Amino acid sequence: MRHDGRNPQQLRKVTLQTNVFHYPEGSVVIRFGNTIVSCSVTIEAEVPSFLQGTGTGELIAQYHMFPRATRKRNMETPVEDTMIIQHLIERSLRAVVDLEKLGERSIVMDCDVLQADGGLQAASITGAFVALRLAVDTLLQKKVLQEDPINEPVVSVNVGLFPEGVYVDLDEKEEKFALAKMNLVMTESGKFIEIQGRGVGSTFDGEQLNEMLFYGKSAMEQLILEQKSVMFKPLQQERGEPLKTIIIATRNTGKAQEFKTMFGRAGYEVKTLADYPELPDVEETGSTFEENARLKAETIAYLLNQPVLADDSGLKVDALGGMPGIYSARFAGEHKSDAGNNAKLLYELTDVPDEKRTAQFHCTLVFAASGKESLVVEAQWSGRIGRIPKGENGFGYDPLFIPNDSTKTAAEMSSEEKNKMSHRGQAMAKLSQKWQKWLEGER
């Protein structure tokens, strides 16, 4: 336990108050424990002279600490410290904003520290993004902007190494005694923008570096959820969803049709992400089917405070060490194409004999709801990979997948036949036996 009673990898209490001030286009007061930072966004319909006529916008950050933000009154924060944090805020936000989509407009971000107790950079960047998101949403609603210039959320946290191990979100007292310190900035997709690390009268090895990165990344994933919970709180309040609603984490309404039958029998209304166009896509940064399904289900359940069912499925080929696996949809590249994926699969298996072309379709379903441990079911459909695509009644790898005890590919089967045998059908059958008791309790 730390001096304030937290566990080593536990964040301080984080709160974000939105639209606090009347005049800025977006404003947030963020608290990391006793650290309080005011973040305000001004959007101006002009750019510096060197950008005029380019059609590109500008993003500028200003950072300031109030004189009595610290234990003793300070008339001035050292200019060097101010500029370092100011430039970090600018770099962090610019990394997730397409300034060309902004047009010739300037975003001016003011981050003012009202009270300092460690983690000033982390609080400033995390709060600044929410203020920016609110400001841009206003321009989109007013049709001032035709395209959203923001690519994804960004957050920051500080991490420290101590004799007892790694702590995240250090307060002022802990910052003074850390053997090594890191400031991390990361996007929702798990990509780092900034990694600042240094030993403080000490050294650290590669294993300790990886540990700091790992726990820092986990803490930042929690911060992204905090951001989203306030950015989408109006959505929850306005919609006032009925109690008996279940959301399927897909924008494909056809894919959710089979679930509507299952849940409809129990009196539940089923919706999909197509009913929530304001919600952003959840980045699938997990390394397993379950991790990706959990990310989708638990994130959306947290944001909407409704039960959410998500799935992650794919093809595992034994001769390829389980690939394409979680990368099934983008095996041939980021631009999803069934034909491209099938062509790549056949190429990879060119010299593999028929008896070694075994494979399994895998499906993981994760059902998440507030206050409950998520329900997880899995199923597999075993078979082998053919040499020529056959059949029209399917998608993905169906034209190449020949189930065990069959001479037909999955794409040559009728929908009814396939649904009884498939990995998805098996997983749904398992789910049908468990979900209602899990969601509603003993019956």
List pLDDT tens digits, range 200-227. 988 999 999 999 999 999 999 999 988 9
Q: How far apart are the first and last CA of the chain?
A: 41
Cβ neighbour number for residue 305 with a 10 Å cutoff: 13
Angstrom CA distances, 292 to 102, 204, 440, stand at 32, 32, 25
For the chain, residues classed under CATH 3.30.230.70 are: 14-231
Kindly report the CATH number that applies to the domain delimited by 245-440. 3.90.950.10
List pLDDT tens digits, range 30-80. 999 999 999 999 999 999 999 999 999 999 999 999 988 988 887 666 677
Alpha helices in 305-371 (DSSP H): 338-348
Q: How far apart are CA 106 and CA 117, in angstroms?
A: 31
Tell me: is residue 254 an annotated ligand-binding position.
yes
Tell me: is residue 33 an annotated ligand-binding position.
no
Tell me: is residue 276 an annotated ligand-binding position.
no
Tell me: is residue 294 an annotated ligand-binding position.
no
Tell me: is residue 251 an annotated ligand-binding position.
yes
Tell me: is residue 423 an annotated ligand-binding position.
yes
β 106-115/58-65 pair status: parallel
> Rounded mean pLDDT of the chain?
90
List pLDDT tens digits, range 142-180. 888 888 999 999 999 999 999 999 999 999 999 999 999
Tell me: is residue 50 an annotated ligand-binding position.
no
For the chain, residues classed under CATH 3.90.950.10 are: 245-440
List pLDDT tens digits, range 374-403. 999 999 999 999 999 999 887 899 999 999
Tell me: is residue 35 an annotated ligand-binding position.
no
The CATH fold of domain 14-231? Ribosomal Protein S5; domain 2 (3.30.230)
Q: Which one of the listed residues 169, 312, 318, 338 is annotated catalytic?
A: 312
Active site residue 312: yes
